[in-house]
């Protein structure tokens, strides 16, 4: 690779400008280490429930190896719309208002490409999933960041949102429960966001990928609030709730015009999501509720244990209401997020992700994923405690 003479300036300019993912860099460091306890993952530690895996196997055995409709199997779209209606309180039409994608990431990409003109402003909040800023840049949009802080428990700061809205603002991007903080929105915030979106004629993207992993009473989606259905793109997938990351099935629900535009891009680039994964996803909606609930309860118990653990060690940690991440503060150690994570890995062999991988305001925090076995979590806490004690010496 190093000997390659290909001139960097020939890479498309807007791609050159996108910074490398902070997670990638860390990934390289971890690769070389043995016996690492990893709290650095962004996926469930559970294997996909057997009934779902068995459906994928059956799909292959039955010779279902063809393309499906671009939008995805109609039976799956029906199941999705039914599920979204029952669980999130919005009714969509399977034929025209639902699109099955390769992971929710593709759905987000399609939504961006379908709606953003060069120069349009897209507001999103950090700390956030690594791809949002990059996604906006890839479609020549202008990323506008709201920095959420520990004071609001990393939930959306509505006052800052109001302050960032301009005549060029086209889209507001939401992701609650949030990766990496586990933050959620409350009813008041949802109402306020809806009011603001309607007033300023904003389109709202809501990435609901962690919605099922909620440890308080789950609220309806923002799309269900007055005036919101016609301006919201509901983005979701199977990866987190059903432990199906590798199946790569996501979906988008929204107004027919938006779904049609997204499908136009999807049909020319992806064609369709793999059929065996689609059939597995259908099984997840049919028979996956019970195993999903078991996993959710297990995450909840681990969350309680880990939050207590971090606070006892002296790394202040908010008890998040959703997802499977903690975002403890490491400010009192005096180390930067990157140094903390790097030294913790080198000295105690525990992998966490520096908060800065999720935005500048993640400085002073680390992301710890508790989708690991209880034994591993207990051992990781021990090692982190030792690490912090050693720092004091």
Give the nearer residue to other proteins in terms of CB position, either 193 or 235.
235
Beta bridge partners of 125: 146
Q: How far is the CB of 375 from other proteins (least distance, A)?
A: 9
Min CB(64)–other proteins separation in Å: 24
In angstroms, give the least distance from the CB of 165 to other proteins. Answer: 28
State the distance between the two ends of the chain, measured CA to CA, in whole angstroms: 43
- Which pair of tokens denotes residue 8? 């960097």
- Closest distance to other proteins from the beta carbon of 219 (Å): 23
Nearer to other proteins, 259 or 372 (CB): 372
Of 304 and 332, the one with the shorter C-beta distance to other proteins is 304
Least separation in angstroms between CB 255 and other proteins: 29
Shortest separation between residue 201's beta carbon and other proteins, angstroms: 32
Least distance between other proteins and beta carbon 38 (Å): 4
232, β-bridge pairs: 204
Which is closer to other proteins, CB of 239 or CB of 278?
Answer: 239
For other proteins, the closer of residues 162 and 246 by Cβ is 246
Q: In terms of C-beta density within 10 A (0-12 exposed, 13-18 middle, 19 or more buried), how is residue 348 classed? A: buried
Dihedral sign from CA coordinates of 141, 223, 244, 249 = negative
Alpha carbon distance 189, 373 (integer Å): 34
What sign does the CA torsion over 271, 83, 93, 63 have? positive
Cα Rg of the chain, angstroms: 21
The Cα–Cα gap between 105 and 236 comes to: 9
Enumerate binding residues for other proteins (CB under 8 A). 21, 23, 26-27, 30-31, 36, 38, 40-43, 45, 47, 129-131, 179, 297, 301-302, 304-305, 308-309, 351, 353, 374, 378
Contacts of range 287-293, beta carbons closer than 8 Å, 24 or more positions apart: 287/51, 287/52, 288/49, 288/51, 288/52, 288/242, 291/49, 291/51, 291/242, 292/49, 292/212, 292/241, 292/242
Closest to other proteins by CB, 203 vs 241, is 241
For the CB of residue 291, give the shortest distance to other proteins in the complex, in Å: 13
Structural tokens at position 5: 């003479």
Pairing, β 121-126 against β 353-354 = unpaired
CB 251 within 8 A of CB 101: yes
Shorter beta-carbon distance to other proteins: residue 129 or 340: 129
Distance of closest approach, residue 308 Cβ to other proteins, in angstroms: 6
| Nearer of residues 190 and 372 to other proteins, judged by Cβ | 372
Report the alpha-carbon distance of residue 104 to residue 155 in Å, rounded: 22
Q: Which is nearer to other proteins, 101 or 263 (CB)?
A: 101
Please tell me the distance from the alpha carbon of residue 223 to that of residue 253, in angstroms, as a whole number: 10
Tokens of 210: 């962690």
């Amino acid at each position: 690779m190093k000997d390659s003479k290909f001139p960097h300036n020939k890479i498309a300019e807007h791609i050159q400008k996108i910074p490398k993912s902070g997670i990638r860099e860390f990934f390289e460091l971890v690769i070389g280490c043995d016996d690492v306890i990893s709290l650095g993952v962004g996926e469930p530690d559970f294997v996909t429930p057997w009934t779902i895996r068995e459906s994928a196997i059956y799909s292959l055995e039955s010779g279902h190896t063809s393309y499906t409709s671009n939008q995805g199997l109609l039976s799956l779209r029906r199941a999705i719309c039914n599920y979204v209606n029952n669980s999130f309180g919005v009714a969509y039409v399977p034929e025209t208002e639902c699109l099955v994608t390769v992971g929710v990431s593709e759905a987000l990409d399609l939504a961006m490409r379908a709606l953003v003109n060069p120069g349009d402003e897209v507001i999103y909040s950090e700390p956030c999933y690594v791809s949002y800023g990059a996604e906006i840049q890839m479609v020549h949009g202008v990323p506008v960041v709201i920095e959420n802080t520990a004071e609001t428990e990393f939930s959306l700061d509505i006052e800052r949102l109001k302050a960032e809205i301009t005549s060029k603002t086209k889209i507001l991007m939401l992701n609650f429960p949030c990766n990496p903080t586990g933050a959620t929105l409350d009813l008041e915030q949802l109402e306020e966001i809806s009011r603001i979106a309607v007033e300023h004629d904003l389109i709202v993207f809501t990435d609901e990928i962690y919605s099922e992993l909620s440890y308080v009473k789950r609220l309806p989606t923002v799309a269900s609030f007055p005036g919101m259905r016609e301006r919201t793109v509901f983005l979701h997938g199977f990866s987190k709730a059903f432990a199906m990351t590798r199946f790569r099935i996501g979906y988008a629900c929204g107004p027919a015009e938006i779904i049609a535009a997204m499908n136009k891009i999807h049909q020319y680039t992806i064609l369709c999501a793999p059929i065996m994964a689609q059939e597995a996803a259908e099984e997840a909606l049919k028979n996956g509720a019970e195993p999903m609930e078991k996993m959710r309860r297990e995450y909840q118990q681990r969350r309680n244990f880990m939050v207590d653990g971090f606070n006892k060690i002296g790394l202040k940690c908010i008890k998040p209401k959703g997802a499977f991440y903690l975002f403890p503060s490491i400010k009192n150690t005096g180390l930067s997020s990157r140094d903390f994570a790097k030294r913790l890995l080198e000295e105690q062999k525990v992998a966490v992700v520096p908060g800065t991988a999720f935005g500048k305001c993640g400085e002073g925090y680390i992301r710890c994923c508790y989708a690991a076995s209880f034994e591993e979590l207990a051992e990781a806490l021990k090692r982190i405690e030792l690490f912090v004690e050693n720092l004091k010496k």
